[in-house]
């Protein structure tokens, strides 16, 4: 069966920069605490008028341009997001209309921070089966809209942005070699947004209780993430009998610099082989890997023939990895 390859990438972040110093004026925190505990220095914030599809649109346009493709060439659009424009229609359908990608199928994926890798896996399967040839995958988030700006334990962490990849059939050795997807719904309460769905429909009471904002058990999530990601990366390497030194670049989900460093150390990868941009954007959930991938491609940190690994951990809980030969 033909495997899929990433043909091009694109990304977009909103102009507005929110610094740690500004956050010091909003909640009881400090630039020093945020940098030491998370590695984040600033993050981007969408304007009042910008929804996730607007960010997705810019990232998608950039990826299409770099591939030399037109929207009508797309067979399928997948958008990974926990901040869809609205419950329905899907953000992917809204994006399809904005792009004018007439006749492309479109759907959203909610696997939180692992959403981009889950979507990549679906795109790979559609292409391998021969059903589609040209698939646009976008991770797009406006987490600032679901962040409790009075909760210092979460509001310093998140940011907005979008990253896109266009996939098509691979030839030769290149392409997506393996995708591993995992979940454990019994631990879902580590990271939730409890209000606004069918369990707790929006009401004055849910708003008063601030249930429409992200809730996270940060420390428990941290510990579980480090343990899980170490095994995930090790398993992915073992599947192809690769050594850590065979990997040219690891692009991890950007949740916390300490998680990124701990994972790299435990699996024996020098930090120089790990792509880090959390300092500029914070945690952008499903958008973090495709934004980082686009930056890595643009600054030529991935070259033809390289083994590239992606890994993520997030709400659900979910975790996932992808091994790609560039
Ligand atoms: O993206 C999907 C998955 N998400 C993650 O993987 C995130 C995982 N978690 C984390 O990144 C970290 O747990 C945090 C950065 C959220 C927190 O770091 P931590 O080292 O786990 O800190 P903590 O929650 O144990 O809190 C330590 C102290 C507490 O004070 P006390 O109880 O020791 O007096 C907190 O109240 O730090 C306090 N604290 C803060 N202080 C200043 C919590 N948030 C802040 C803050 N500024 N913003």
Indicate if 200 and 273 belong to the same structural domain. Answer: yes
Q: Please tell me whether residue 46 adopts helix, strand or coil conformation.
A: coil
Burial class for 28, CB neighbours closer than 10 Å (0-12, 13-18, 19+)? exposed
Indicate if 147 and 201 belong to the same structural domain. Answer: no
Q: Of 156, 172, 188, which closes a domain?
A: 172
Average pLDDT over residues 21-28: 98
Protein residue with least CA distance to atom 8, ligand 1: 222
Ligand 1 centroid, distance to 219 Cα (angstroms): 6
- Which residue's structure tokens are 């989900």? 253
**Residue among 36, 37, 253 to mutate when testing ligand 1 (max atoms within 8 A of CB):** 37
Q: Of 119, 146, 172, which closes a domain?
A: 172
Indicate if 244 and 164 belong to the same structural domain. Answer: no
Give the C-alpha separation, 14 to 160, whole Å: 7
> pLDDT category, 172, cuts 50, 70, 90?
confident
* Rounded to 5°, angle at Cα 112 from 18 and 71: 85
* 90-120 pLDDT per residue, tens: 999 999 999 999 999 999 999 999 999 999 9
Ligand 1 centroid, distance to 281 Cα (angstroms): 18
Contact indicator for 41, 280 with CB cutoff of 8 Å: yes
Ligand 1 centroid, distance to 151 Cα (angstroms): 11
Indicate if 264 and 316 belong to the same structural domain. Answer: yes
What CATH number does the domain containing 8 carry?
A: 3.40.47.10
Indicate if 14 and 162 belong to the same structural domain. Answer: yes
Domain total of the chain: 2
Which residues participate in catalysis according to the annotation?
113, 253, 283
CA distances from 226 to 23, 106, 262, 312 (A): 27, 34, 7, 11
Contact indicator for 127, 167 with CB cutoff of 8 Å: yes
Q: Of 126, 146, 172, which closes a domain?
A: 172
Average pLDDT over residues 162-188: 96
Q: Please tell me whether residue 81 adopts helix, strand or coil conformation.
A: coil
Indicate if 313 and 194 belong to the same structural domain. Answer: yes
In the prediction, which pLDDT does 120 show? 98
Protein residue with least CA distance to atom 20, ligand 1: 37
Per-residue exposure over 103-136, b if at least 16 CB sit within 10 Å of its own CB, e if not: ebbbebbebbbbbbbbbbbbbbbbbbeeebbbbb
Would the pTM of this model clear 0.85, i.e. be above it? yes
In angstroms, how far is CA 131 from the centroid of its own chain? 25
In the prediction, which pLDDT does 1 show? 75
- In sequence order, the β-bridge partners of residue 179 are 322
Indicate if 152 and 188 belong to the same structural domain. Answer: no
Indicate if 293 and 161 belong to the same structural domain. Answer: no
* 209-267 pLDDT per residue, tens: 999 999 999 999 999 999 999 999 999 999 999 999 999 999 999 999 999 999 999 99
In the prediction, which pLDDT does 173 show? 87
Indicate if 271 and 190 belong to the same structural domain. Answer: yes
Indicate if 77 and 10 belong to the same structural domain. Answer: yes
Domain that holds residue 166: 4-172
Has residue 162 got a pLDDT over 80? yes
Contact indicator for 118, 318 with CB cutoff of 8 Å: yes
């Amino acid at each position: 069966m033909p495997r899929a390859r990433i043909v091009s990438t694109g990304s977009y972040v909103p102009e507005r920069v929110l610094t740690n110093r500004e956050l010091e004026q909003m909640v009881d925190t400090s630039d020093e605490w945020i940098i030491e505990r998370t590695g984040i220095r600033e993050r981007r914030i969408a304007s009042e008028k910008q929804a996730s599809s607007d960010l997705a649109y810019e990232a998608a346009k950039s990826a299409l341009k770099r591939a030399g493709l037109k929207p009508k060439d797309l067979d399928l659009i997948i958008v990974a997001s926990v901040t869809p424009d609205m419950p329905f229609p899907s953000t992917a359908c809204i994006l399809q209309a904005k792009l004018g990608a007439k006749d492309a199928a479109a759907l959203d994926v909610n696997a939180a921070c692992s959403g981009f890798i889950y979507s990549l896996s679906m795109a790979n399967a559609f292409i391998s089966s021969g059903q589609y040839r040209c698939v646009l995958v976008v991770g797009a988030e406006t987490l600032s809209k679901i962040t409790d700006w009075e909760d210092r334990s979460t509001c310093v962490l998140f940011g907005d942005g979008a990253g896109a990849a266009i996939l098509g059939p691979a030839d030769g050795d290149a392409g997506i070699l393996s995708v591993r997807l995992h979940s454990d719904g019994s631990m879902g309460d580590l990271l939730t947004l409890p209000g606004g769905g069918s369990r707790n429909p929006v009401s004055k009471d849910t708003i008063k209780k601030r249930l429409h904002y992200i809730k996270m058990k940060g420390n428990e999530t941290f510990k579980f993430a480090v343990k899980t990601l170490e095994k995930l990366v090790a398993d992915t390497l073992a599947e192809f009998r690769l050594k850590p030194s065979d990997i040219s670049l690891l692009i991890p989900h950007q949740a916390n610099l300490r998680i990124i460093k701990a994972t790299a150390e435990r699996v024996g990868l020098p930090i120089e082989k790990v792509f880090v941009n959390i300092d500029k954007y914070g945690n952008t959930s499903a958008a973090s890997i495709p934004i980082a991938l686009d930056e890595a491609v643009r600054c030529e940190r991935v070259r033809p023939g390289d083994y590239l690994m992606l890994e993520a951990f997030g709400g659900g809980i979910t975790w996932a990895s992808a091994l790609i030969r560039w």
